[in-house]
Amino acid sequence: DELLKLKPLYTQVSGQGEGDNTSLLGQYVFPATIIFTMVVFLFEFYLDLRQRRSYKVTKFPSELAKTVGSIDADTGKAGSSAAPSGDESKSKSKKKGGEIDTHKPLLPQLETKFTKAQGYGLDKVNFSLVSQIYGTFEAVAFLLLGFFPYCWDKSASWAESTFGWTETGDEIKVALVFLGLTTIIGTITGLPFEIYSTFQIERKHGFNKQTAGLFITDKVKSLVLTAVIGGPFIALLLKIIQWGGEHFYLYVWAFTFFFSVFMMTIVPVVIMPMFNKYEPLKDGSLKTRIYELANKLKYPLTKLFVMDGSKRSSHSNAFMFGFGKNKRIVLFDTLLEQVHDDEILAILGHELGHWKLGHTLSNFAITQMYMGAAFYCFSRCYASHDLYRAFGFDGEERPIPTIIALLLFFMTLWAPVDKVLSFLLTIFSRINEFGADRFSHGLGMSKKLQSGLVKISLENLGAMCPDPLYSTYHYSHPPLVERLNAMIELDKKEM
């Protein structure tokens, strides 16, 4: 009973929490939101503790040793001290930042890096534990204090005194002021954690290459882009909801679809170049072979770039983007330093497998279905003033701001659905990763993909013995040993 009496300290009625809410939804939604927040926190905190325990293991995992030893044996490197070939020597000479000796077995190098990888993972999970505690404390405190009604009232008061905007006649403008205020507060509270992660953890383990000036510049650019792109998007979204009538969710769904396509188009060609430099891959054997692979798979590759990821981090990656007949591939410069050309091709074979198998399109379709379902459910709850009164928006003579209705819906009624769907999408992503690995195997690239994945994991100090429950819940990619074993089994079936 005492729990059901919980309500925000600040409400719109008098600023002192005197509003009343006697409906079933009004009575339960506020305490239920706090309970759900705490349950999720405790579960994810428990998973982090399990992962923390796995990072304290000092013995190299036997299954990984057996698997990587098998890869070494297949490539003829185990116990071999043979002189490297000319191509291999040339490949090694290109390495500037990688620490892998490409002419020695992988297993001894993994074993050498095991302690360092465990230390890196332990630092990250300890940081996650602290940030989770703070994040949950902040979320619950904001709810109990009435952060949202307070910020809305202050935004409305400031907008009216400064620009003459009222919350009845200029609701969207006031909503943008409100979002600006909450974004600034969120940026300030989150900044210490970003700084510690980047300049303490990542730098301690040799990954961060970012200067303080670059960090600040990136942050300013991000905030400006959020205002320039996010502001008009939110304004149009709110306008469509207000204009669309009973079936506004259909118009919102269409709008978010076209906006998604628009963002997928401009982000790689306009926004990302604001943060990184993209140069065409130099002519040579690798470039020729990548285009040959793309042509073989009928992938309409038009441009091939190298991105200067090393100016921020020594982590490596590769990705593809583009629509229709205008596809592009981007390789991090760090990736070129860490693996052989054959392994880069195998990694791209895996990435092209996602495209060929329709994973990219299916992920986009699922996202659009998710948005449609979310906004349909929101339309069923949009007029429920009991929900808003429970969180302090209890001024009977004042309209419920559309932006507040959206935020509270996604924070409360939709939050459990979102958690379940996010987990299911994580499982789906892992299934797709195995599928793309099988596709690369079908191209005859299995062994090179295996060695490439080991090298990337080695260079990035990836988790070598993750907790099973933690990895199942969090990892969008299967653990390294699971992927390697699956490909080795495929290789055995062909023998």
76 — alpha (psi -120 to 50), left (phi > 0) or beta?
left
pLDDT for residue 384: 83
CB distance 60 to 114 below 8 Å: yes
Spatial CB neighbours of 91, under 8 Å, sequence gap ≥ 6: 102, 340, 341
Grade residue 99 by pLDDT with cuts at 50, 70 and 90: low
Amino acid at 481: V
Q: Which token pair is 311?
A: 């100016």
Q: Which token pair is 72?
A: 């070494």
Q: In percent, how much of the chain has pLDDT > 90?
A: 71
Out of 72, 386, 437, 482, pick the active-site residue: 437
pLDDT for residue 22: 59
> Does pLDDT of 488 surpass 60?
yes
Grade residue 1 by pLDDT with cuts at 50, 70 and 90: low
> Does pLDDT of 178 surpass 80?
yes
pLDDT for residue 495: 67
CB distance 99 to 339 below 8 Å: no
Out of 351, 386, 459, 467, pick the active-site residue: 351
pLDDT for residue 4: 65
> Does pLDDT of 87 surpass 60?
no
Quick: pLDDT tens for 371-422.
999 999 999 989 888 889 899 998 777 888 999 999 999 999 999 999 999 9
> Does pLDDT of 37 surpass 70?
yes
Q: Determine if the pTM surpasses 0.85.
A: yes
Mean pLDDT over all residues of the chain? 89
Residue 332, phi then psi, degrees to nearest 5: -70, 140
Grade residue 325 by pLDDT with cuts at 50, 70 and 90: confident
Segment 455-466 mean pLDDT: 92
Segment 34-42 mean pLDDT: 96
CB distance 43 to 474 below 8 Å: no
Is 437 noted as a catalytic residue in this protein? yes
pLDDT for residue 89: 43
CB distance 106 to 77 below 8 Å: yes
Locate tokens 């990250």: which residue? 124
Grade residue 95 by pLDDT with cuts at 50, 70 and 90: very low
Segment 233-237 mean pLDDT: 97
Is 351 noted as a catalytic residue in this protein? yes
CB distance 410 to 387 below 8 Å: no
Question: Angle between the 480-494 and 415-442 helix axes, to the nearest 10 degrees?
Answer: 40
> Does pLDDT of 294 surpass 60?
yes
